[in-house]
A and B are shown apart, each in its own frame.
Chain A
Amino acid sequence: MSRAPVAGSAVSIVMPCLDDVDLLERHLPALLAEFERRGCDDELVVIDDTGRDVLKSWVAERFPGVRVVAQPFNSGFAQALLAGVRLARHELVFCMNPDVLVHAGFLEPLVDCLADPAVHSAAPRVLLQGDPQRIESVTEVAWVEGVLRVVQPALDGGVEPYQSGRRNVAYAIGGTCLLRRSEFLASGGFDPLYEPFYLEDTDLGLVALRAGRRVVYEPASVVEHHHRGTIGKRIPRPFVVAMIERNRLLLQWKLIDDPARAEAHVASLVRVATDALLCDEREALIWLALALDRFDALERSRRALAPAVVGLEELARGKAVPAG
Chain B
Amino acid sequence: MRVCLVTHGLPPYELTGVENYTLALARGLAAAGHQVEVFAARRAPELPDRSLRREARDGWAVTWVSANSAPRDPSEALDPPGIVDAFARFLDRERPELVHFQHVIKLGLGLIEAAQARGLPTVYTAHDYYPVCHRITLMRPDLSRCSTLADSSACTRCDLALSLLDRQPNLGDYQIGALPEQLEPAARDQLGLLLSGDEAGAGVHPDELRAARERRVALDARRREVLARLDRVLAPTEFLALQLVAGGVEGARVRRLDYGIDARDLLPLRRAAPAAAGRLRIGYLGGHSKHKGVHVLLEAWRRLAADAAPNAELSIWGGSSDAQYVAQLVASARTGGARWRGPYARAELPAILRELDLLVVPSIWVENQPFVIREALAAGRPVLASRVGALPENVREGVDGWLFEPGDALDLERQLRRLIASPELVRELAARLEPVKDLATHVRELEAHYQELASARPVDAQSAQLPEHVREPYARHAELAALPTRELYEHVLAGLEGLAPRLGARTPSLSRLLADAFGPRSRAQEFIDDGRGEHAWREQQHAVDASGLRALNERLSWRESLLAEREAELSWLRTSEQGLQAERTWLRETIDALERERNWLRDEHAAQRKELDWRVEQVGGQEQELNWRREQQAGLEKERDWLREEVRGRDFELGWLRGDLSAEARRLDEARGALEARLARCDALSREGRALLDANPIERSTLVRARDLLTEQARELNGAVASFLAALPRAPAKQEQGP
Residues in A lying within 8 Å of B, measured CB to CB: 18, 49, 51, 73-76, 79, 195-197, 230, 234-236, 239, 242-243, 253, 256-257, 259-271, 273-280, 282, 285-286, 288-290, 292-293, 295, 298-299, 302
B470 pairs with A253, CB closer than 8 A: no
Question: Given that A273-B492, A286-B481 are known contacts, is A266 also in contact with B93, CB under 8 Å in the complex?
Answer: no
Contact residue among B93, B473, B486, B491 (Cβ-Cβ distance under 8 Å from A289): B491
Residues in B lying within 8 Å of A, measured CB to CB: 89, 92-93, 462, 465-470, 473-474, 476-477, 480-481, 485-486, 488-489, 491-493, 495-496, 498-500, 502-508, 512-513, 516-518, 522-524, 527
B496 pairs with A266, CB closer than 8 A: yes
Question: Given that A266-B499, A270-B517 are known contacts, is A290 also in contact with B462, CB under 8 Å in the complex?
Answer: no
Chain B residues contacting A73 (CB-CB under 8 Å) are 468
Can you give 8 contacting A-B residue pairs, CB < 8 Å? A76-B467, A274-B523, A282-B93, A282-B485, A286-B488, A289-B488, A292-B496, A292-B499
B524 pairs with A278, CB closer than 8 A: yes
B469 pairs with A76, CB closer than 8 A: yes
User: Smallest Cβ distance from A149 to chain B, in angstroms?
Assistant: 17
Contact residue among A18, A268, A299, A302 (Cβ-Cβ distance under 8 Å from B467): A18
A285 pairs with B489, CB closer than 8 A: yes
Contact residue among B474, B500, B522 (Cβ-Cβ distance under 8 Å from A266): B500
Question: Given that A196-B469, A243-B473, A298-B502 are known contacts, is A279 also in contact with B523, CB under 8 Å in the complex?
Answer: yes
Question: Given that A262-B505, A266-B508, A298-B502 are known contacts, is A274 also in contact with B469, CB under 8 Å in the complex?
Answer: no
Given contacts A235-B474, A289-B492, A292-B498, 14 further A-B contacts (CB under 8 A): A49-B467, A74-B467, A74-B468, A259-B504, A260-B505, A262-B505, A271-B517, A273-B496, A274-B517, A275-B522, A278-B527, A282-B93, A286-B481, A289-B491
Chain A residues contacting B516 (CB-CB under 8 Å) are 267-268, 270-271
Contact residue among B92, B462, B505 (Cβ-Cβ distance under 8 Å from A259): B505
- Determine the main DSSP class of B at the interface with A: helix
Which residue of chain A is the closest to B465 with respect to CB atoms? A234
The 3 closest A-B pairs by CB, nearest first: A292-B495, A262-B505, A262-B503
A74 to B468 alpha-carbon distance, docked (Å): 6
B493 pairs with A290, CB closer than 8 A: no
Chain B residues contacting A230 (CB-CB under 8 Å) are 467
Contact residue among B470, B489, B496, B499 (Cβ-Cβ distance under 8 Å from A235): B470
Which residue of chain B is the closest to A230 with respect to CB atoms? B467
Chain B residues contacting A195 (CB-CB under 8 Å) are 469, 473
A263 pairs with B480, CB closer than 8 A: no
User: Smallest Cβ distance from B86 to chain A, in angstroms?
Assistant: 12
User: Smallest Cβ distance from B170 to chain A, in angstroms?
Assistant: 49
Chain B residues contacting A51 (CB-CB under 8 Å) are 468
Which residue of chain A is the closest to B491 with respect to CB atoms? A289
A234 pairs with B480, CB closer than 8 A: no
Chain A residues contacting B92 (CB-CB under 8 Å) are 280, 282
B470 pairs with A290, CB closer than 8 A: no
User: Smallest Cβ distance from B504 to chain A, in angstroms?
Assistant: 6
A293 pairs with B489, CB closer than 8 A: no
B480 pairs with A290, CB closer than 8 A: yes
Chain A residues contacting B524 (CB-CB under 8 Å) are 271, 274-275, 278
Chain B residues contacting A276 (CB-CB under 8 Å) are 489
Question: Given that A236-B462, A259-B506, A270-B508 are known contacts, is A76 also in contact with B470, CB under 8 Å in the complex?
Answer: yes
A79 to B495 alpha-carbon distance, docked (Å): 29
Chain B residues contacting A243 (CB-CB under 8 Å) are 473
B474 pairs with A239, CB closer than 8 A: yes
Chain A residues contacting B474 (CB-CB under 8 Å) are 235, 239
User: Smallest Cβ distance from B669 to chain A, in angstroms?
Assistant: 163
A282 to B512 alpha-carbon distance, docked (Å): 24
B503 pairs with A277, CB closer than 8 A: no
Chain B residues contacting A265 (CB-CB under 8 Å) are 503
User: Smallest Cβ distance from A284 to chain B, in angstroms?
Assistant: 9
Chain B residues contacting A262 (CB-CB under 8 Å) are 500, 503-505
Which residue of chain B is the closest to A276 with respect to CB atoms? B489
User: Smallest Cβ distance from A128 to chain B, in angstroms?
Assistant: 24
A197 to B472 alpha-carbon distance, docked (Å): 13
A79 pairs with B469, CB closer than 8 A: yes
Among A235, A270, A292, the most chain B Cβ lie within 10 Å of the Cβ of: A270
Which residue of chain A is the closest to B474 with respect to CB atoms? A239
A266 pairs with B491, CB closer than 8 A: no
User: Smallest Cβ distance from B466 to chain A, in angstroms?
Assistant: 6
User: Smallest Cβ distance from A33 to chain B, in angstroms?
Assistant: 31
Chain B residues contacting A74 (CB-CB under 8 Å) are 467-469
A289 pairs with B480, CB closer than 8 A: yes
B473 pairs with A196, CB closer than 8 A: yes
Chain A residues contacting B470 (CB-CB under 8 Å) are 76, 196-197, 235, 239
Which residue of chain A is the closest to B506 with respect to CB atoms? A263
Contact residue among B465, B476, B502, B523 (Cβ-Cβ distance under 8 Å from A295): B502
Chain A residues contacting B503 (CB-CB under 8 Å) are 253, 256, 259, 262, 265-266
B506 pairs with A293, CB closer than 8 A: no
A165 to B480 alpha-carbon distance, docked (Å): 46
B93 pairs with A290, CB closer than 8 A: no
Among A49, A197, A262, A279, the most chain B Cβ lie within 10 Å of the Cβ of: A262
Among B89, B469, B493, B506, the most chain A Cβ lie within 10 Å of the Cβ of: B469
A299 to B443 alpha-carbon distance, docked (Å): 46
B505 pairs with A263, CB closer than 8 A: yes
User: Smallest Cβ distance from A137 to chain B, in angstroms?
Assistant: 25
Among A74, A263, A264, the most chain B Cβ lie within 10 Å of the Cβ of: A263
User: Smallest Cβ distance from A317 to chain B, in angstroms?
Assistant: 19
A292 pairs with B508, CB closer than 8 A: no
A234 to B471 alpha-carbon distance, docked (Å): 12
A78 to B418 alpha-carbon distance, docked (Å): 89
A286 pairs with B477, CB closer than 8 A: yes
A292 pairs with B492, CB closer than 8 A: yes
B467 pairs with A263, CB closer than 8 A: no
Question: Given that A253-B499, A266-B503 are known contacts, is A278 also in contact with B523, CB under 8 Å in the complex?
Answer: yes
A314 to B432 alpha-carbon distance, docked (Å): 87
B492 pairs with A235, CB closer than 8 A: no
User: Smallest Cβ distance from B84 to chain A, in angstroms?
Assistant: 16
Chain B residues contacting A293 (CB-CB under 8 Å) are 476
B495 pairs with A235, CB closer than 8 A: no
User: Smallest Cβ distance from B527 to chain A, in angstroms?
Assistant: 5
Which residue of chain B is the closest to A283 with respect to CB atoms? B481
Chain A residues contacting B489 (CB-CB under 8 Å) are 273-274, 276-277, 285
Which residue of chain A is the closest to B508 with respect to CB atoms? A267
User: Smallest Cβ distance from A156 to chain B, in angstroms?
Assistant: 26
A288 pairs with B495, CB closer than 8 A: yes
A235 pairs with B466, CB closer than 8 A: yes
A263 pairs with B495, CB closer than 8 A: no
Chain B residues contacting A290 (CB-CB under 8 Å) are 473, 476-477, 480
A184 to B307 alpha-carbon distance, docked (Å): 105
B496 pairs with A295, CB closer than 8 A: no
A270 to B505 alpha-carbon distance, docked (Å): 15
Chain B residues contacting A196 (CB-CB under 8 Å) are 467, 469-470, 473
A196 to B472 alpha-carbon distance, docked (Å): 9
A269 to B516 alpha-carbon distance, docked (Å): 9
User: Smallest Cβ distance from B498 to chain A, in angstroms?
Assistant: 7
Question: Given that A263-B506, A282-B92, A295-B502 are known contacts, is A269 also in contact with B496, CB under 8 Å in the complex?
Answer: yes
Chain A residues contacting B477 (CB-CB under 8 Å) are 239, 242, 286, 290
Chain B residues contacting A239 (CB-CB under 8 Å) are 470, 473-474, 477
Contact residue among A49, A234, A261, A282 (Cβ-Cβ distance under 8 Å from B466): A234
Chain B residues contacting A280 (CB-CB under 8 Å) are 89, 92-93, 485
User: Smallest Cβ distance from A258 to chain B, in angstroms?
Assistant: 8
A277 to B93 alpha-carbon distance, docked (Å): 9
A266 pairs with B505, CB closer than 8 A: yes
A236 to B460 alpha-carbon distance, docked (Å): 12
A183 to B89 alpha-carbon distance, docked (Å): 51
Chain B residues contacting A242 (CB-CB under 8 Å) are 477
A277 pairs with B496, CB closer than 8 A: no
Chain A residues contacting B481 (CB-CB under 8 Å) are 282, 286
B527 pairs with A289, CB closer than 8 A: no
Chain A residues contacting B476 (CB-CB under 8 Å) are 290, 293
